[in-house]
């Protein structure tokens, strides 16, 4: 079982400069891309699928660069700290809803969709609680692999039937990846909550 180390730390002073820094602009742009991706649902044909994949890929790239640039340029701000996780969860939730609406994820595949969505909501609440208590829960390597598998699976499923014309068994690959991501989500989420509740019990025991 993976263990999390909970530490109380003093965070660095957020960037006090302009609000509309490039990292924040990228984060805001990712939220707009989520809206554009949802709009592909109202289009028809393979072009809708490929456009959704393209938007999803660009949004994923901005997710990397906004955090990287904020750290590299010392432009981590309160706005960025608030918007970045919101943008991440909106992107994943929108992709999951889109593949469900397109019936790419149907039948038993709905189970990993629900697991991933539930984890995103529950962990968000726990993160907010722990942040108010100035408690840091480090992200493990397994959690990073979960995110990578999740994004790849969603990319395949967004391509769906259009992807089948290019790569055989695209949907099957996406479904398998989503199940793996859901299992890792459940596993890492369980340890995450165990670490959080351990902190709560320690606080109550004082």
Domain CATH number, residue 36: 1.20.120.1760
pLDDT of residue 164: 96
Ordered alpha helix ranges (H), the chain: 22-39, 46-72, 78-101, 110-132, 141-164, 170-205
Is 56 inside a domain boundary? yes
Higher pLDDT, 88 or 205: 88
Is 4 inside a domain boundary? no
CA angle 199, 201, 206 (to 5 degrees): 100
How many domains is the chain built from? 1
pLDDT of residue 5: 46
Judge whether 178 and 109 are in contact, CB under 8 Å: yes
pLDDT of residue 40: 96
Output the CA–CA distances (angstroms, integers) from residue 189 to 34, 105, 123, 149, 196, in the order listed.
25, 22, 7, 15, 10
Is 161 inside a domain boundary? yes
Higher pLDDT, 116 or 188: 116
pTM: 0.82
pLDDT, tens digit (0-9, with 9 covering 90-100), for 63-118: 888 887 888 887 777 777 788 888 999 999 999 999 999 999 878 899 999 999 99
pLDDT at 133 exceeding the cut of 90: no
Is 13 inside a domain boundary? no
pLDDT, tens digit (0-9, with 9 covering 90-100), for 27-76: 999 999 999 999 999 999 999 999 999 999 999 999 888 887 888 887 77
Is 3 inside a domain boundary? no
Domain with 166 in it = 18-205
Is 12 inside a domain boundary? no
Give Rg (Cα) of the chain. Answer: 18
pLDDT of residue 6: 39
Is 9 inside a domain boundary? no
pLDDT of residue 138: 66
pLDDT at 199 exceeding the cut of 80: no
């Amino acid at each position: 079982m993976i263990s999390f180390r909970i530490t109380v730390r003093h965070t660095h002073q957020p960037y006090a400069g302009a609000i509309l820094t490039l990292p924040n602009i990228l984060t805001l742009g990712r939220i707009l891309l989520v809206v554009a991706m949802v709009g592909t649902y109202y289009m028809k044909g393979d072009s809708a699928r490929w456009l959704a994949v393209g938007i999803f890929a660009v949004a994923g790239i901005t997710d990397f660069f906004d955090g990287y640039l904020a750290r590299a340029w010392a432009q981590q701000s309160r706005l960025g700290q608030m918007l970045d996780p919101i943008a991440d969860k909106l992107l994943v939730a929108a992709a999951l809803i889109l593949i469900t609406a397109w019936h790419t994820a149907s039948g038993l595949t709905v189970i990993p969709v629900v697991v991933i969505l539930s984890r995103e909501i529950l962990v968000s609440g726990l993160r907010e609680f722990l942040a108010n208590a100035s408690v840091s829960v480090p992200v493990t390597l397994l959690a990073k692999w979960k995110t990578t598998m999740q994004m790849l699976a969603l990319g395949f499923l967004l391509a769906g039937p259009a992807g089948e014309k290019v790569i055989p068994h695209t949907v099957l690959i996406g479904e398998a990846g989503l199940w793996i991501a859901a299992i890792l989500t459940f596993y890492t989420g369980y340890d995450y909550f165990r670490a959080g509740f351990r902190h709560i019990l320690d606080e109550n025991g004082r």
